[in-house]
Amino acid sequence: MSDNYNQLYEDLEEKLRMIDLEEDNLLKKSEQSFQMVLIAINQLREGLTKNPLDSQASEILFFKEIKPKFVSKLIYHLSVFNIETNKPNGGIKVKRKYYQNELDKLKRYFDNNLEFYRYFRTHSNYLDHKYFVRGKQDIRLTLDSFFFETDPNFSTSHDFKVSNILANDLLNVYLEDELNKLNLRDIANGKSQVEPKGKLTWTESKVSLIELMYALQARGVFNNGTADLKEVAAFFEDTFGIELGQYDTPYLLDNYCTKLRYNYDTFLIA
């Protein structure tokens, strides 16, 4: 029976590899991969229904090793999709802080489940009969609250924790890779990785910085006038570590244009 499940997983891996090769858009890739894993999990559930587990050993094997491999892929691709759709539009510093916060979330999950991490990573098995056998939930063994909303025929008290551990391993690699890409962009732009001793901090209002950005962009001082407002805004956010938010609102544009007209009229009168 496990051979059939292993073949199902190998087929899934091959389909995910094809999606990775054929789709360049990360959000579309995550969405397609998520749907593909969901189909495989449904096939896994159907296989369990048609061929019930015939011993406690086979049940432990299924919920400790087989099912988590599938569910971890589902968690991973859903997490990547959510991370990327919630990513701020700021510069490199803003994005670096965002990805670092996501890494911190993984660390907190590790800290909150340290005992089970140790149990799983050391390949212990003395509590397998409680963790990975259906109907053996024990509130003293750190249960997730949502466990009581899951299908009791397709879940044990801790198989989802194993899935999370495996998914977090993948997410850690993904987030570290994204941070490395940002660092390489810094190097490519000629920026030093060492912070200057006298770091400049913007101490005026955010609106003042936005007005300065408008003035410089309108003057065409970036890339011989070819840089658009979004590129200039990203540069300012990265340089000063400030999130400008909705810098292109009609109010701010009108306010800047009013000041521009006033300065121009004053210049003519003078």
Q: For 173-217, how does the pLDDT look when each residue is reduced to its tens digit (9 = 90+)?
A: 999 999 998 888 777 666 544 455 556 777 877 777 777 877 777
- pLDDT single digits (tens) 68-85: 999 999 999 999 999 999
Task: Examine the domain organization and report whether 81 and 135 are in the same domain.
Answer: yes
Residues 27 and 116 in one domain: yes
Q: Are residues 264 and 181 in the same domain?
A: no
Distances from the Cα of 124 to the Cαs of 64, 113, 115, 120, 163, in angstroms? 11, 15, 12, 6, 17
Choose the final residue of a domain: 157, 188, 219: 188
Q: Which of 188, 215, 240 corresponds to the end of one domain?
A: 188
Regarding whether 216 and 174 lie in a shared domain, the answer is no
Closest C-alpha to 159, from 136, 186, 191, 187: 136
Please indicate, yes or no, whether residues 238 and 136 belong to a single structural domain of this protein.
no
- CA–CA gap between residue 184 and residue 166 (Å, rounded): 28
**Of the candidates 188, 223, 241, which is a domain's last residue?**
188
Query: Tens digit of pLDDT per residue, the chain (270 long)?
Result: 578 899 999 999 999 999 999 998 999 999 999 999 999 999 999 999 999 998 999 999 999 999 999 999 999 999 999 999 999 988 888 999 999 999 999 999 999 999 999 999 999 999 999 999 998 766 555 556 454 457 788 999 899 999 999 999 999 999 999 999 888 877 766 654 445 555 677 787 777 777 787 777 777 777 766 777 777 778 887 777 777 766 665 545 555 455 544 443 443 344
pTM, rounded to two decimals:
0.67
CA distance 66 to 63: 6
Q: Shortest CA distance to 213 belongs to which of 227, 192, 199?
A: 227
Q: How many CB atoms lie within 10 A of CB 253?
A: 14
In a domain, 196, yes or no: no
Q: Which domain holds residue 247?
A: 206-269
* Counted domains in the chain: 2
- Note whether residue 36 is domain-resident: yes
Same domain, 98 and 38: yes
C-alpha closest to that of 133 among 149, 117, 153: 153
Q: How far apart are CA 44 and CA 243, in angstroms?
A: 45
Q: Domain check: are 161 and 235 in the same one?
A: no
Whether residues 30 and 130 fall in one domain: yes
Whether 51 and 143 share a structural domain:
yes
Specify whether 123 is located in the same domain as 221: no
Could you tell me if residue 71 is inside a domain? yes
The residue type found at 67 is K
